[in-house]
Amino acid sequence: MDKLILYRELIQKLLTARAKLRSKSDPIESQTIFDTIKDHYQLVHVGWKDSSTRIYGCVLHIDIKDGKIWVQHDGTEDA
């Protein structure tokens, strides 16, 4: 299998699995964004908290550049 195809599949599986960790009853939705043409991949959270606070944020942003995986942003770890 071509390395680029493998990288794309692995990143999409990772982000999809991470998105499923959020409870179905949680008002914040996890969305995956896959741009397989330019190789940009994101997991974002969107929704409303307490019906008054808008939630939007990138949790993970991964790119494939020059045949390598670049983690542009990882918001899954505590500081």
The structural domains of the chain, with segments of one domain joined by +, span: 3-74
What is the structure's pLDDT at 78? Answer: 67
Residues 4 and 19: their CA atoms lie apart, in Å, by 23
Write the pLDDT tens digit of every residue in 20-52: 998 888 889 999 999 999 999 999 999 998 888
Q: What integer pLDDT is reported at residue 25 of this predicted model?
A: 85
Position 22 scores a pLDDT of 85
Instruction: Look at domain 3-74 and name its CATH class.
Output: alpha beta
d(C-alpha 40, C-alpha 72), whole Å: 10
pLDDT (0 to 100) of residue 17: 96
Mean pLDDT of the chain: 93
- Cα–Cα separations (whole angstroms), residue 70 to 7, 35, 41, 45: 11, 14, 10, 21
Instruction: Quote the percentage of the chain above a pLDDT of 70.
Output: 97
